[in-house]
């Protein structure tokens, strides 16, 4: 069931909810493609990471629909270190002033490095934007997610369900149409067990080159405390964005 949901989500592309066009009565579309990598080779040691993303968004004045899909693969000295996939769909429903809005989300994850075989998160909440312009976006959101997961705990398969609080800080700042700083950062503790929490941090810097093409560097940190697993990743590469 969870794999079927992941396949459905993968068929649609995604967009970063922080990267938004100026709203009006028409329908805006946004697409984003990115590929960042990290390669290290010294003597008989080698390591590499490939981090790829595909995104699509549809936005009207009062509603936005966003899809986000990422796949990370890496090896360390010939052994697999990462094979991590995430697919997310979210919908935002705005009030007339656009500062306060409601959101709903469905997210599927599998991660070799974090010992997640399958994870499905679904829920809803509220959000408030302190700024929401073409050059400045700062948003805080909070809500509740139902989590049904299959993980490896002490190298043993465990199936469990819980409800999580999901707190997010999202931002995007553009300087002189050349440099963009943006990020999505989550803290997701279980409501029934304080030691069961997930941290997901994704922050990037990009430099515009020409007509939607940018070079960028991405710093990602993930921790799943229940499995005792974490990763810290730095990758660099190119991205392409287009509004239409």
For the chain, domain boundaries: 2-243
Contacts of 156 (CB under 8 A, 6+ apart): none
Whole-angstrom Cα distance, residue 48 to residue 37? 7
pLDDT grade, residue 90 (50/70/90)? very high
- Whether 57 contacts 65, CB under 8 Å: yes
CA–chain centroid gap for 19, Å, is 12
Token pair, residue 48, equals 């590499």
Q: pLDDT tens across 91-123, in order?
A: 999 998 889 999 999 999 999 999 999 999 999
pTM: 0.84
CA 131 to chain centre: 20
Centroid of chain to Cα 107 = 10
pLDDT in tens, 1-54: 444 444 434 433 333 333 333 344 588 999 999 999 998 887 777 899 999 999
* Euclidean distance between CA atoms 20 and 60, whole angstroms: 11
β-strand partners of 58: 29, 65
CATH number, domain 2-243: 2.40.160.40
Does the pLDDT at position 152 exceed 60?
yes
């Amino acid at each position: 069931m969870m794999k079927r949901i992941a396949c459905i989500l993968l068929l649609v592309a995604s967009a970063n909810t922080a990267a938004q066009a100026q709203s009006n009565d028409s329908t805006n579309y946004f697409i984003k493609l990115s590929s960042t990598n990290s390669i290290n080779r010294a003597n008989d040691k080698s390591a590499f990471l490939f981090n790829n993303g595909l995104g699509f968004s549809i936005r009207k004045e009062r509603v936005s629909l966003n899809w986000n899909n990422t796949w990370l693969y890496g090896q360390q000295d010939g052994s697999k270190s990462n094979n991590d996939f995430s697919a997310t769909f979210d919908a935002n429903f705005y009030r007339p002033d656009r500062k306060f809005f409601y959101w709903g989300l469905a997210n599927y994850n599998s991660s070799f490095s974090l010992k997640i075989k399958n994870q499905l998160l679904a829920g809803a909440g509220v959000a408030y934007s302190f700024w929401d312009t073409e050059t400045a976006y700062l948003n805080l959101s909070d809500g509740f997610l139902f989590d049904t997961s299959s993980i490896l705990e002490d190298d043993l398969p465990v199936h469990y369900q819980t409800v999580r609080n999901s707190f997010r800080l999202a931002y995007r700042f553009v300087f002189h149409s050349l440099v963009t700083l943006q990020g999505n950062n989550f803290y997701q503790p279980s409501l029934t067990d304080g030691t069961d929490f997930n941290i997901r941090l994704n922050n990037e810097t990009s430099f515009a080159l020409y007509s939607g093409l940018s070079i960028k560097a991405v710093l990602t940190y993930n921790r799943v405390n229940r499995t005792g697993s974490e990763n810290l990743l730095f990758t660099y590469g190119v991205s392409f964005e287009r509004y239409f």
